Amino acid sequence: MSIKSLDDLLSEGVSGRGVLVRSDLNVPLDESGTVTDPGRIIASVPTLKALSDAGAKVVVTAHLGRPKGEPDPKYSLAPVAAALGDRLARHVQLAGDVVGSDALARAEGLTDGDVLLLENVRFDARETSKDDAERLAFAKALVELVGEDGAFVSDGFGVVHRKQASVYDVATLLPHYAGTLVDAEVKVLEQLTSSTERPYAVVLGGSKVSDKLAVIENLATKADSLIIGGGMCFTFLAAQGLPVGSSLLEEGMVDTCRTLLDTYADVLHLPVDIVVAEKFAADATPETVAADRIPDGKMGLDIGPESVKRFTALLSNAKTVFWNGPMGVFEFPAFAAGTKGVAEAIIAATGRGAFSVVGGGDSAAAVRQLGLPEDGFSHISTGGGASLEYLEGKTLPGIHVLEN
């Protein structure tokens, strides 16, 4: 697979040229519109800074949330533009539209090194259209902003599994390159899939089995141990015939989980104790019970201390670790110990020389919120869905289109 890199573009020269960059700036905001976790903004800076410093006229496309194909002030990129400007230590203009008159006027007025962020690309319904012609028409409007001698840099790894105009179609219209972020992510995932050093441990959390079914099926054949926590463990416990109280349960997946447990009994590992409460709330009273003793009317919100010990033992000799999804409701301090304990076990394995990858926004957010060292892991991915689909063996449209 041959993909041109940002270094290739820089060596060709970008001074005075328009460069369209697809970044992933889909960050969480609080009710006041303040960025609460700038991880993806920070990850986008190296590519944008390199282009700006080299004199490119940089036009950035990105999305925020899921607006319904039309402008919605709640999903404006205004707070992101301000935060990005702080990180770049330069003014970042925000266009008042996506490909309208304001975007065109601002793009035409760019001087060498300027950075222009277009308004939320999903404010235009053509971005996510299933109609190829509609997406292509929108892509052409985006390309018009950087001119005929422009280039496209794909740096939003969190969206490369989507066949969308700003991710896929623009790459068919311009010379295209992988930004530093996408380049690094692909190299890491190739290492996870092709030259995996054993023992290989996978830790999966999060709420739904259905979201992770394909990756469980794929990795169960490759990993030496596959640890399951988070909300989805209760569907597995129910598949064993155990009571799960009012815990999160996907009843339609119970039979599937039973088959997985039968097929991969020596690989799959479930919690042995659970932290339960009467309600889903930060002030709920935690109680630790055995995994086969969850009381009626109580819900599991974290894995218990014995589970952390068991999972730590499984991770202690791992040479490769992939972690996607928290072990519990880490946002509530009373239910954060499971996620923190497993994360610390992965950090310890990394310290002993293991190659560890954290995939998924929730896991990355947990690392930061729980005060864990980001450099305690070999790599923290910015794209959960993209990482999972790559590990499932799927072709990622936004990567495939970059191949030469």
Do residue 30 and residue 139 come from a single domain? yes
Q: Say yes or no to pLDDT of 228 above 90.
A: yes
Mean pLDDT of the chain: 95
- Any known ligand binding at 258? no
**147's torsion region: left (phi>0), alpha (psi -120 to 50) or beta?**
left
The CA–CA distances, whole Å, from 264 to 62, 141, 191, 230, 363 equal 40, 50, 24, 19, 25
pLDDT band at 275 (very low <50, low <70, confident <90, very high): very high
Whether 195 has a pLDDT exceeding 80, the answer reads no
Residues 165 and 239 in one domain: no
* 382 and 287 housed in the same domain: yes
Verify whether residue 208 is a known catalytic residue: yes
Q: Is 363 annotated as a binding residue?
A: yes
The reply, when asked if residue 404 is annotated as ligand binding, is: no
Same domain, 57 and 204: no
CA distances from 319 to 46, 141, 196, 315, 355 (A): 29, 47, 8, 9, 6
pLDDT score of 1: 58
The pLDDT score that the predictor gives to residue 179 is 98
pLDDT per residue as tens digits for the range 38-90: 989 999 999 999 999 999 999 999 999 999 999 999 999 999 999 999 999 99
> Which residue segment(s) compose the domain that 338 sits in?
196-391
Q: Which of 4, 40, 135, 310 is catalytic?
A: 40
- Mark whether 40 is an active-site residue: yes
114 and 36 in a common domain: yes
Residue 397 lies in a domain: no
11-26 pLDDT, tens digit each: 999 999 999 999 999 9
Q: Is residue 177 part of a domain?
A: yes
**How many structural domains does the chain have?**
2
Residue 371: is it exposed, middle or buried by C-beta count within 10 angstroms (0-12/13-18/19+)? exposed
Say if residue 120 carries a ligand binding annotation. Answer: no
User: Do residues 161 and 245 share a domain?
Assistant: no
245 is catalytic: no
Catalytic, 361? Answer: yes
The CATH number for 108's domain is 3.40.50.1260
Question: How far is residue 383's CA from residue 157's CA, in Å, rounded to a whole number?
Answer: 6
Is 189 part of any domain? no
Q: How far apart are CA 67 and CA 399, in angstroms?
A: 25
200-204, 377-381, 392-396 — which is least confidently predicted? Answer: 392-396
User: What is the token pair recorded at 61?
Assistant: 């496309």
Looking at the structure, do residues 86 and 52 belong to the same domain, yes or no? yes
| pLDDT score recorded for residue 362 | 87
Asked whether residue 352 is marked as a ligand-binding residue, the answer is no
The count of C-alpha atoms lying within 13 angstroms of the C-alpha of 28, restricted to the half-sphere facing its C-beta, is: 10
67 falls within a domain: yes
Sheet holding 18-22, edge to edge: 92-94, 115-117, 57-61, 18-22, 151-154, 176-178
Q: Which of 18, 304, 385, 398 is catalytic?
A: 385
Instruction: Decide: 79 and 31 in contact? Cβ < 8 Å.
Output: no
Determine, yes or no, domain membership for 121.
yes
The residue count of the chain comes to 404
| One domain for residues 249 and 336 | yes
Do residues 200 and 328 share a domain?
yes
Residue 115 and residue 24 share a domain: yes
pTM of the model: 0.88
